Every structure is written in C-alpha cells, then in structure tokens.
Structure 1
Amino acid sequence: MIFALIASRVLSCFFFTIMGGQGWSLLAHIFWPNRGGMKNKIGIYVHIPFCMAKCRYCDFFSIPVARGSVDESGYASALISQLESELDIFPIEGREVGSIYFGGGTPSMLSPDFFRSMLDGLAEKFHIVPEAEISCEVNPATAEAAWFSELRSAGINRVSIGVQSFNERNLKILGRIHTPLDAMRAIAQAQDAGFSNLSTDIIYSIPGTSMADLEEDLRLLMMFFPAHVSAYCLNVEEGTQLQKKVLSGELKLPSEEEQLKQMRMISRMLRRVGWNRYEISNYAKPEMESRHNVNYWEYGEYLGLGPSAASFLMGVKNSFGVRRCVSREIGKYMKGEFLSSEESIHKKQGALEFMFMGLRMTRGIELSRFCEIFGGSVDDFYSETLSSLADRGLILRDEKRIALTDRGIEISDQIFSEFAM
C-alpha cells in the first residue's frame, strides 16, 4: 500500500522537478486566480478544541473526547453567539474577510456539515471575498476519502495535514495517534479530492532522530509535492507530557548545533526542488504561501472565535489597538461567558510586535507600511538596534524593506530580544 501511494506520485514529482517554479505558477493561476493579498481585509480564526488524545508536545487548549461525541450544532451555536457579542462591541460587521482558519485541537473530528454551517453563519455577517483562503487542520488518523470530498463541497479550499513524521518511532515519542501509512493515505486522499492547496507539517529536533531519519522524512514528503510545508523545531512547552519526560531524563533533546544542522538540511532540500522559504519555519511553492498566517506576520487584523482564541483589531475603543482573549473554560464558553482578558495596545508595543512578526518573513518588513501604521519611520523607533544588526551582517536593508540575512534567521530569537531592550 505504501509503495502504491508513493508510486502514484512519482510522475507528478518528476513533472514539478523539471518544471520547477513555472509548473507551480501555472497551476496557481489555473486553480487560484486572483489570489490577492490581505490588505484591508481581516482574517478569522475558529478554534476547535476537541481531540481524540493530547499530543505529548502540545500546549494548545484542547479537550480529549471520544470520536462522534461532540455536540456539533451546540458548539456551532456557541461560536455564532460569541461572534454576535463581538460585533456588538466592535464595528467590523460587513468587513471583507480574506482568510478563515479552522484550527485545534482536531477540526477533522467534525463533520463537513459543521464547517458548512459555520461558513454560512460567517457569510451572513461578513463579506467573504471570492478568493478567500479557507483552511482546515487535519489529523491523518481522523480523515477518510469521502470526508475530504464533502469538506471541499462544504467550502473548505485548503487543508493542513499534521504529518509531523513518517517515522513510527518519532510518532510514538510525539504521542501522535496516526501511523506513517495514515499520513500518506491522508495526503493522497486530499489531493485526489481536489485539494491542490495542501499544506503539511513536519517536526524536527525530535530526541534520537538522526540526520538520515530526517532526510528520509523529507524525501517521502517530497514524493507527494504538497503546495506548502511547515517545518517546526520541537519545543518543550511548560506543563506538557514531553516536558516531564525531558526533565526526568527519559528523553534527551538534540543540542543547539544539531538543531541548526537539521534546520539547514530542511532548507537546503526543500529549496532545491522549488519550495521557497518565505518565513522562518514555512516553505511554499510560488504563490502558495499561507495567506492567513501572512496576515499575522504582516500585523493584520484578525478575529478569534472559540475557547482560547485571540482577536486583534486596530483603531477601536479610542486606542491604537485592542487584543481580546477568549476564556479557556469550555463550560463557561458554552453558557455564553466568552471574554477572558482584554488589552489595549499602545503604539510602542505595536511597533515592537510589528518588528517581531514581520522579520520572521524572509522578505522582511515593508518600511512604508511601518510609517503608515505608526506615523513615523522605523529609524525613529529602532535606529541604534538596526545599525548594530547591520554592522554584524544580520539584516539587509534597501529603500523599501528590512529583512534578516540567512545568519539572522538562524539566531532570530536573539535578534528579536534586542528590539525589546
């Protein structure tokens, strides 16, 4: 079965390797015409907290439940109720929406009818532009061919499949419930259902993983030629099962030098066959970047629905910006008690966040946009820091943009901390 799945993708792999970026640009224009940007549009994030089992590394808000036990209509009603309460506070009804993202948890536990219902509810309150990117996260253990087809009919046009690894040992360390074959099957079924805009997640720096193991993961992934790849370094988050195993000595994380070698291998292998690195952890075929995430990185506005979700809106409540976070208590949420916290963002804090987020992208920050948002040049805020970074060869600058160099990307956390000093 594994060999059949891989073999069915070999010809397409050969085609795109030969055609390179031209092949993907052609398909992008055929299947994704008018893929405009997110300027002046908002993104909407919908959190689905339900999952079948908590992954060992996960610190997102999630609730393990049995498959088929979720009250989908009740949860959809709660989400719409929260939306209506947000619209009572913020004057955003009727705004253009450029992206919608269903994340989790495990959204793929829910039926396509849930997503159809939610999209209908959102369309009643906003103008969802025809070219909007509408994404759904998928756990390979929970999706089947018919589900993918029905999901696409429901209005989802992009899926993000949590592969993480094709190595059975790695999946067990991470606490994933799917197998390597599940991951291969899910990618193939999604593509067969017509999801040309398909993203996959890979995790590196897993304890005990060799460079050869990682290379094998990447080679298997490339056989399917997804439009987008997110490659995340495994982080040990506080309170997770993974942290307990690391602190007890049961698992040993790779050294920083080993992590860097793995990150460089990923970048080298993916770039060689046409995936452009457009953000520290993200690679895409031409014109297939995640528009929803780009909106975050370019300091765009977004609305968050569901327990633990966050919203950021500018020019409201007589402030530069407002960030609101939703309660993590599902019981309160289902009863209509949504708000957990609200924070007013001042310009200085906003400028810092703009730099943190924008410099994650390989194209960096747009100087004119900084001026437009903050009413002054970036040098008015960070002239000394920028001069120091330039002198050390960590940033590049021209008349339009500032971006990190390759070395700057590798030590980005250190660079971001310098802006906060």
Structure 2
Amino acid sequence: MTTAALTGAARAIARCDVLATLSSLPSGIERVAYSEEHRAANALVGEWMREAGLQVRQDAAGNVCGRIEGRRDGLPALVLGSHLDTVTDAGRYDGMLGVLLAIEVAERIDTAALPFALELIGFTDEEGTRFGDALLGSRAFAGRVAADRLATTDRAGTSVAQAMTAFGLDPARIGEAARRPEELVGYLETHIEQGPHLIDADRALAVVTAIAGARRFALQVTGRAGHAGGTPYPRRRDALVAAAEIVVEIERIAIETGTIGTVGRIRAFPGGVNVVPGVCRFSLDLRGETDEARDAAFARIDAAAREVCERRGVAWSADEFYRADATICDAALVAAVEAGVRAAGDADPVRLWSRAGHDGMAVRDVTGVAMLFLRCGNDGISHHPDETVTEEDVAAALAGFEAAVLAVAEQHRP
C-alpha cells in the first residue's frame, strides 16, 4: 500500500476518533438528528471539506454537503458519502468513516480532469435513532419525505418539524434538499461491512451487489389461558409453546432459503408463572438479497405457522408494519467499484449483498448507487463500542474508492 494511502487512512481514522467525542452520552457514542452534537459534527466535517478544496453548505434537511467542480463548472455530480448520525452506544466507524474517506478521495484526486463534479455528503438520521424511522436525510436528498414524516415525535414528544426548527432549519422547505436525476452521475459509498464475511474470506474489501430488502411483522398466536396445574396437556391451547415452535421454523426456513429471519422480541400474556399463556406476541425482521427471495421465505414461514397453529388448536395472525424493498446496485457503478478493488491489489473481488440498510436505499430513487465494503474486526461486530478497523484495510479502501471514482470517469469520457 502506498505511503499516501496509509497517510490518508491514518488521518481518516484519527478524524473518526474526534467525531466520537461529539456525543450526548457521558461514556459511549450517541449522535442523533438535529441535536447539538449533530450541529457540531456538521461544522467539523464541513471544515474538513473546505480544507480539501470543496465549497460547503448545509442543505434544507440538515445534511452537510460539499462540491468541487470538474473540468468545467456546472457538470452533473458523482456523489460520495455516508451518514454522520449514530445508534445509541455506537461504534466510531459506521457511516463516519465513509464520509471521511470521501474527503480523502476529493483531496487526492485531480478533479480538474473529471468529466463530472464531485459532491460529498454527510447524511443525517440514517439510523432513525431519535424518531424511529430511518433514512430521513437521504430520503430528503431523493425528494421522498412525506408530510406526515415531519409530525413523527421522539420520546420527549418533540416532532421532527420542531427539532428542525430548533436546529435552525425551516421544515416547510425540506423539499429544497431534493436533487434531480439530471444533476447526478451516481452515488458511491464506502462502509464497514458490519458482518464477518470478509473476515471469513480473509479479504479487506468487497463489492456490494445489493442492499437487503426487509419486511417487519407483528406476529400473534392466540390460544386460551388456563391454570398451570389444572389444565391437562390434551386440553391446553398454549400460545407460547406454539410461538416457540414457529420461531424454530423461522430459523430453519431462513437458513434453507439464504435469507435472514430474526425474532427480536417476544412476550406472553397474561404473564403469570402459574398460568398457561393465552396470547403470545412476537416480532419478525426478514431480509433477503432480492424482494422475491424475501417474499418467498415469508410465504413458507406463514404456511409453517398456520400448520403449527392448526395442529395445536390456536389462531395465527401476521401484521406487516415496515417494508423496504431491495436495492440492486447499478451495474456500471458496480463495475467501477470492482475496478477499484482490483486497483487496490485484489485481482478477484469478493461480491456481497449488504444485510444491513444504507442511505443508498433512498438515493436509488434519484440516481444509481453502488458500495464498497471494508472489513471490520472483532468478528464483524458493529453498532457497538467494539467496532474496529485496521489502518491497512482503511488504506486499501481509500485506494479502491479513489480508483472507483476514476473508473466512473472513464465510463463518462466522450
């Protein structure tokens, strides 16, 4: 790896350390949308963008944006970026590292030779930590923020609109953050993998082919409560036992279909230690590389649950409360990222689909997207203080990211 790449990697990691100090928690990292920590992060990242030669502004949604012209002014832009907000008790590389590597690319590259402008963006509220609904900044970028989204409240009862106003923004003007397809060439994002696949493959980088499509359900099994001692097994209509069998079926089907099914919450009612549960409510988060794979897996889960419930004499219901369809990465941009990985020294790039959500899921509504993954250590742990990367892997990602931008430039030359 070149000295310049290692120097840039070390600086990006050091800047992640600085951003980690902008937290609402006395120990640990939390930086949510429209907070004072958000304001400070935008100011700091904006200053780093200016040092790299970009013109900087904050858009109508609170995203921090920088632009540097190409071979002539006013060209459509290739956008590089990620998010600056965090989950509660977060790691220091999820999102932030991608923004800081974008700054390093802008500083290293000869933008005067590019057939497009470069724009950098640090999105806000990708995680949805404060208001419970993710991708606000990138949805605004794509012109997809519904009016009722601004009425959503945090735990203190503050709405998105009120928080924006306190931040110095006019919620009525959030539409001004929207970009038009003709203004854009595409969107590239570098991000830690947030999983162990690169560790298992002993590779530093991967090309992302798709971002998972997710569906979330509130599931319920309804049986009949009864005395634990006085209700014989043949007469029991135990909702929790049926639900437990369904949870095992969810795992089996997910493994067989290559999807990901997670039951993260389960509760039995009435909840007495000496009462047969009459109702069991639980959640399902189901993800797949494609919508078709995800939906086929749910059809199998639903059929299995109905069989279990019929056999056990209980009732079954499944109410969907969230859907985000899969994002298939743009073929030309994927090819550019592959060229970048090869330029960084990996002749046979790994291809992965992202099991986690990213801003590209919203940005794809206005332009093509692609992603570069870099390995994270500690068994791929993310959304946790133990999230970590190595300087060598970050240097490889920087070299690959820069080469990917140049590969996009070659695609757009006359």
Superposition TM-score, scaled by structure 1 size:
0.25
Greater per-residue helix proportion: 1
Q: Which has the larger radius of gyration?
A: 2
User: Which protein, 1 or 2, shows the higher relative CO under an 8 Å CA cutoff with sep ≥ 6?
Assistant: 2
Superposition TM-score, scaled by structure 2 size:
0.25
